[in-house]
Amino acid sequence: MKNILFDSFQLILKILDSLFPKSDNAIIFPVDSYKDYKDNKRFLFDSLSKFQKIDCVILFLSKQDVTSPRHVNFYTLKGLIYWLRSRYIVIDHGTSDIPFSGSLDYNRRKIINVWHGIPLKNLGYRVKDKNEFSMKSEFEKYHSMICSSTLDFLAMQSCFGKSKKDMWLTGLPRNDLLLFNDSQISNDLKNGLNWIDVQLNQRKMVLYMPTWRDDKFYNPKFNESEIVKLKLLLKSENAVLAVKIHPNAPPIDFGSLPIVNLSECPCPEVGLFLRKADVLITDYSSVWVDFLLLDRPIVSYCPDISNYKKTRGLLYDYDLVFPGKINVTFESFLKELMISLSTSVSSKQIRIKHLFHAFLDGKNSERVSQKILSIL
């Protein structure tokens, strides 16, 4: 019965969408809830909202207590009308971000995919055992995508098959936060920074952000002996490990090691964590590419790199693009971490920053906004 009702509603929406006139200045940003109002979507929305000629709204897919006229619940008359009349839709994963995406007439829409990072691992057409027909059907719906540099453009092009005119070299809106001065930061983000300060209690912040694996059973945990050694090092440096696990990854047991669990932060914007971090530890997560903008040390811990290359695969030769040593053993990792807590970044890291980032001015959101204005 539920399937019949769903299919009937989807058919009605399809008919309505084909008949409803589209507004050339209406843009929707579909997100599930307030906790998902973040990343590139958030900073681009904040930038576009400054232009009176643009009618843009955050379209919540789950019921929220909205606090702004620019925040709309989809399952209301107002939300449905915005869904029907908007010429432009901003997504950061795929068209599955959009409610009832199967009912949309994509010939009358322009889908702008701002993605959710600078890719390092294989995506799209670069994934093994891909369904090329399904991918082509999806990627052809994207009017435009964004990239951060010429190198990133080439990587994105190989993954999504977009032409040069469809790839906007603008930088990622979310990275503006890393370069903002304090006066440019909104109050809710400041609350997040204040929460982190309380947890740190004047200690250095060593941020650990591993990515997720296709192998759901893999867990990059430390054994008891390693935890003792890590604890001693952090204590000697007046530092604490702050942890943000990828939402697709299983939790990690840190045993007796004191940590700051950043998943508890009232504001989940990753840029806040990067802004506060003195050192970043990661593996194949592209978060280190964002962190390059801050000119602070980056340490790798990649004990499964051989297997990761065979299964998921990487877009680049990791030894060439990673700014430091690829640490496969805990001993090597611990030594690099100790060095990073007392030294500045290498000239190699500075060179790599310029490879991945064409812009260092904190105005990426403005550039994407201007691109959108140019196609209205």
Q: Which of 13-17, 73-77, 304-308 has the lowest mean pLDDT?
A: 304-308
Look at residue 31 in the predicted model and tell me its pLDDT: 97
Q: 295 versus 4: which is more confidently predicted?
A: 295
The neighbour count for residue 45, using CB atoms within 10 Å, is 21
> Which of 100-104's residues contact partners 24+ apart within 8 Å by CB, and which partners?
100/9, 100/10, 100/13, 102/10, 102/14, 103/10, 103/11, 103/13, 103/14, 103/17, 104/17
Look at residue 27 in the predicted model and tell me its pLDDT: 98
Per the rule left: phi > 0, alpha: psi between -120 and 50, beta: everything else, 154 is: alpha
Look at residue 217 in the predicted model and tell me its pLDDT: 59
- How far CA 83 is from CA of 7, 51, 150, 258, in Å, comes to 18, 20, 34, 46
User: Which helix (H) or strand (E) is 30 found in, with range?
Assistant: strand 23-31
Residue the block writes with tokens 């499964």: 304
pLDDT over 90 at 272, yes or no: yes
Domain ranges in the chain?
2-171+361-375, 178-356
Q: 320 versus 5: which is more confidently predicted?
A: 320
Q: 197 versus 247: which is more confidently predicted?
A: 197
Strand partners, 89: 28, 111
Confidence band of 275 (pLDDT split at 50, 70, 90)? very high
Q: Which of 119, 74, 121 is nearest to 98 (CA)?
A: 74
- CATH number for the domain whose boundaries are 178-356: 3.40.50.12580
pLDDT over 80 at 218, yes or no: no
pLDDT over 80 at 1, yes or no: no
Q: Which amino acid is at 326?
A: I
Whether the CB-CB separation of 106 and 43 falls below 8 Å is answered with: no
Confidence band of 5 (pLDDT split at 50, 70, 90)? confident
* Percent of the chain at pLDDT exceeding 90: 88
Give the contacts of 306 (CB within 8 A, at least 6 positions apart): none
Q: Do 2-171+361-375 and 178-356 come out as alike in CATH topology?
A: yes
Domain 2-171+361-375, what fold?
Answer: Rossmann fold (3.40.50)
Average pLDDT over the chain, rounded to an integer: 94
Residue the block writes with tokens 């681009």: 44
Look at residue 251 in the predicted model and tell me its pLDDT: 81
Q: 81 versus 311: which is more confidently predicted?
A: 81
